[in-house]
Chains A and B, each alone.
Chain A
């Protein structure tokens, strides 16, 4: 902690040039995105494994706190992507370093240029949501906010569990391995760090089109508000069939992942590529950040590494499981009851179609 406190204080006090602030922003945006990623992979898997939880999670994401968070997320992804390109450029072409501060300014300008239309597009979804019949009843507003926070409790519990697992792993590792290598006298070359250095740059480059495509489809063309209202899924064709009279987030995911073009589930393949690259890139990045400040102590350093490894492994396993499991129509039925609960929470009438569906079901 001392090293973190010192670095934060002195980074604020040292009059470094713009490169220093690019680095600060790169770290903050990176950590922000990786935290969101953990949330996002787990709850998207619920669409398959726990449909009623997924419906509630999406309802939470439609609440005002998460709307603000979504704008922050999109900023973070876009800035991190462009600044990442800047870092890649000067790492592979160090002789161009004289242009690095111009490039840092360029990254900021490019980020703003891209975000302006994107934020307008996202804002139009928000306005639609609050102006149309979907608006939350005034006296239910706080209920929705409290509900959205409570919905996150399982994640906090999960994180505590993972942290405990990481500490146990680090302790076991220390027992087996003894004093760590970080303080050693450079015993031998480490191909591991060389691999990760290259991986961060190559994966960063590959992620860029994937994540921009994902953001465009799932946050701009169709936002989190459309996922419970849309009759069609962007990026799929009508041959897939349309969503029923009562749209739900689960059915949206069902349609998206069932869509096959030429016998290939293209969105499952797309999401799998994104999952693997982003999880590895994100949690190796988190390992960089944590170990930078934990290197004063072997145990703290090992716990940081174990933490990143365990979370990444869990996310890859859960995410891949959700993508590979065959989808059953049952999940849609399960989602309907939860959808009715959400209408009640938000103080709205349950639509006649949903009532008909639920009574027909029983």
Chain B
């Protein structure tokens, strides 16, 4: 079947194309099971070599091909043509400067990420056997969901609070902080909670729930943010995370 792609483009190097504009491409012989990313490759290889996008692993693990597909943030490598239909609209993710076509400047996003200390902190000497610091399965379960984040920025750039205010730390950085805040072996939890209780920390979240369905890894993003808010409010991390209901 034929599929029409309407793509939001911009090329700062070519006079006349510095401002964002729409361009349509029609691809023939498309299978419903083809992936959107492959189709973007076909456009680039068969029709217009100047089309620019990021991708690396192409299998939903590296998180580099986040884009707005038919109005919502998705990874192009995880979307099949049968999911998006015969008319596909593709734009860069919103809230960070567009460099070229679908490529945005991710530096502001990673700046927020770095601010929450996204690394394990424990200054105690390692256990006597020199191996890992053990924890119970129940303790490991607490932050299991937030370990899945691949930093694709789908959640942060789906958030109206982030669109309005780029200083807001954003859902992804809070999920990354959650992964360490609720790790019983980590010792910098309170420091991260202090960082996130700043005016542009978690309090800019208005519980809009745009981030959760945007996550290609099905992380319960709004829930994670909510748990961080409760931890700040109660001044502790123990007993905050309730078991999920069976669904």
The chain A residues found within 8 Å of chain B, CB to CB, are 3-4, 6-7, 10-11, 13-17, 19-20, 22-23, 87, 90-98, 100-101, 181-183, 185-194, 196-198, 288, 292-293, 295-296
Contacts and interface: CB of A to CB of B under 8 A. Distances in A.
B207 A183 contact: no
6 contacts: A14-B68, A16-B210, A100-B209, A197-B203, A292-B161, A296-B165
Interface in B136-160: 158, 160
Contacts of A96: 245
Given A295-B165, A295-B167, A186 B201 contact: yes
Contacts of A193: 197-199, 201, 203
B244 interface: yes
A108 B134 CA distance: 49
A97 B233 contact: no
* Interface of chain A: mostly helix, strand, loop or mixed: helix
Interface stretch (B11-19, B22-30, B45-53, B222-230): B222-230
A141 B144 CA distance: 67
A190 B199 contact: yes
Given A19-B210, A95-B245, A186 B165 contact: no
B232 interface: yes
A292 B210 contact: no
Interface residues of B, number: 49
B212 interface: yes
A117 B24 CA distance: 52
A94 B211 CA distance: 14
Contact of A23 (B200, B208, B244, B247): B208
Contacts of A296: 165-166
Given A7-B160, A23-B208, A97-B223, A182 B167 contact: yes
B167 A20 contact: no
Nearest to B194: A189
B243 interface: yes
A193 B198 CA distance: 7
